Amino acid sequence: MADYTPPLRDIKFVLRHIADLDEIIEYPGFEHVDPETVDGALDEAGRFMAEVVAPTNRAGDEIGATWADGHVTTPDAFKEAWRKYVDAGWSAVTGPPEHGGHGFPETVGFAVSEMFVSANLAFSLNPMLTGSAITVIRDHADDELRDTYLEKLVTAEWTGTMVLTETEAGSDVGALRTKATPNEDGTYSINGSKIFITWGDHDLSDNIIHLVLARLPDAPPGTRGISLFIVPKMLVNEDGTIGAWNNVETVSIEHKLGIHGSPTCVQAYDNSIGYLVGEPNRGMGYMFAMMNQARREVGLEGLGISDRAYQQAVEYAKERTQGRAIGTPKTEVSPIIEHPDVRRMLMTMKAYNEAARALLYDTAAAGERMHRHPDEVGRRASSERVALLTPVAKAWCTDVGVEMTSIGVQVHGGMGYVEETGAAQHYRDARITPIYEGTNGIQAIDLVMRKLPMGEGNVVRSYLDEMAALDGPLGETDDPRLTAIGRSLSTGVASLSDATEWLLACEDPNDRLAGATPYLKMFGVVAGGYYLARLALAAAAEDEDPWLDAKIDTATFYAEQLLPTALGLLPSVKAGAAGLFAIPIEGLETAK
């Protein structure tokens, strides 16, 4: 497997020109953060991910996490990298200072996560889930629980999980059946079986703190009757030391298509002690509050793995010689990177990745601003923006991840199908991302049914207006590439507006649901063009430099060749549900 090069210049460029990190670090609470510290931290994180974590990716796939007698064992390479990760304090970058964290903006932590994902997706899921647990406990648990758990999670001495899914409760979490029975001492006895628990057990830390959704007796049915509990793997004594095992049994782990290094556990809770987080029956609300964060992190997984696949494809295409490009002397062979078709594959990967990165970091920055912006108007606007963009960031970027890792395989030709090369691992690993943390179908439904109607459609309209307004600055430059980008973007935005207004005006929910997935894809493709155009404008404003000039060329390629595909989706957005249901179920079955 090829080395990983942290894309630091790209990340910093996006942090500056899309996320506007310079503004964020001026917010209250970030007095200790300045641009140089951020740059230094990112450089150091990039070095760590490339040198310590990235080399563990193959072992994670080949050896994988294994299960025996109720315990999960991770590859030795993971244990060593994890120790270094904890020792170096990378887990604590964004953690609250009062609980052992360094208090960096979450947008900076997002950049560190991107590099972690690229280095080893399966491994990175452990800190990612722990981060979700930290958010939930920080925001909703009482002081005693926070004092007991937060610092150990922030420093990664312990890790955290999210325990939601049951066999009959996947996308429909409200169908879950795990029970929580109050005990006399204020704790609860948790009983039930859960599946799909990422990093639900492992041998990297002494304790694992499970955040478990369960029902209290007499709870209302559905999502309004779900409560959230902290259920540690090992009980914690009053002095903070580890006590008895809490009857959290890891029954098995899944044999999966990819992310073999990440144990996906089936667990049984048998009178395990749980501690209620927040109010009874409010569990789903707490989970939803954390979910935007988790969903954009999954979108980031799509990008991270796609970027690693891209880097590997470029290296291979430079080294592999085959055939002669037009104009090459007959006595020579060409590296395949000189062939137009291979160049198309690489440019496609590069352009989608950079578009996805900008969309993701804009979403993450909005997620930070919704809590941190000093004024109420700014917080509300950011909160609406993050609500709108999260389903697109999650679904579009993970679909892009799957497609780009497939192109990565293709660049390698026959070698791409051989596992030793590593291209196939990216393809397998990426495939989980459109599924978990709400399938991409669920994201599309969220976008169309809940997000578009926000503010009677004015939240999405304001985003569309912002995209359309870029036509002004793009047309004002004397670079014809930027003018061309502006034209393509305007056409794309007009088509997306058409789709949006159709959905907003549509009265039949089935018709809206029918158009959800093509609409989300259209949204992603057009938004990607918008972000690349912004990056191109930013590049044009700086002194000339081949790297900056490439930003304009990348945006041009995208605008001319990828963005127009969005227009082909408009008919399916507006087709309604009738065509999908014209054939009855029996007619979908195969006739002998």
Minimum distance from residue 490 beta carbon to a second copy (Å): 14
Between 237 and 565, whose beta carbon lies closer to a second copy?
565
Is residue 9 a contact point for a second copy (CB under 8 A)? yes
Is residue 480 a contact point for a second copy (CB under 8 A)? no
Minimum distance from residue 462 beta carbon to a second copy (Å): 27
Is residue 81 a contact point for a second copy (CB under 8 A)? no
Beta strands in 426-507, from DSSP E residues, in sequence order = none
Q: Which stretch binds a second copy (CB under 8 A): 129-137, 357-365, 369-377, 543-551?
A: 543-551
* AA identity, residue 67: W
- Is 437 catalytic? The answer is yes
Q: Which of 106, 151, 437, 476 is labelled catalytic?
A: 437
From 251, 435, 454, 494, residue interacting with a second copy (rule: CB under 8 A): 435
Whole-angstrom Cα distance, residue 521 to residue 114? Answer: 22
* Residues of this chain, 548-567, that bind a second copy according to CB under 8 A: 550, 553-554, 556-557, 560-562, 564-567
* Residues of this chain, 287-316, that bind a second copy according to CB under 8 A: 307, 311, 314
Specify the DSSP class assigned to residue 220. P
Helix axes 106-119, 8-17, angle to 10 degrees: 150
Q: Which stretch binds a second copy (CB under 8 A): 8-16, 71-79, 137-145, 450-458?
A: 8-16
Is residue 585 a contact point for a second copy (CB under 8 A)? yes
Collapsing DSSP states into helix, strand and coil, what is residue 100?
coil
* Residues of this chain, 218-257, that bind a second copy according to CB under 8 A: 254-257
Between 232 and 258, whose beta carbon lies closer to a second copy?
258
Is residue 6 a contact point for a second copy (CB under 8 A)? yes
Task: For tokens 């078709």, name the residue.
Answer: 341
- What are residue 273's DSSP bridge partners? 189
From 341, 376, 478, 507, residue interacting with a second copy (rule: CB under 8 A): 341
Pairing of strands 264-276, 227-232: antiparallel
Whole-angstrom Cα distance, residue 116 to residue 85? Answer: 11
Is residue 420 a contact point for a second copy (CB under 8 A)? yes
Between 232 and 408, whose beta carbon lies closer to a second copy?
408
Is residue 590 a contact point for a second copy (CB under 8 A)? yes
Spatial neighbors of 104 by CB under 8 A, at least 6 apart, are: 30, 33, 38, 41, 93, 94
* AA identity, residue 389: L
**What is the phi-psi region of residue 163: left when phi exceeds 0, alpha when psi lies from -120 to 50, beta otherwise?**
beta
From 414, 472, 505, 507, residue interacting with a second copy (rule: CB under 8 A): 414
Is residue 485 a contact point for a second copy (CB under 8 A)? no
Q: Which stretch binds a second copy (CB under 8 A): 109-117, 125-133, 289-297, 542-550?
A: 542-550
Pairing of strands 208-214, 159-163: parallel
Collapsing DSSP states into helix, strand and coil, what is residue 422?
coil
Whole-angstrom Cα distance, residue 133 to residue 362? Answer: 23
Pairing of strands 188-198, 264-276: antiparallel
From 242, 347, 381, 538, residue interacting with a second copy (rule: CB under 8 A): 347
**Active-site residue set:** 437
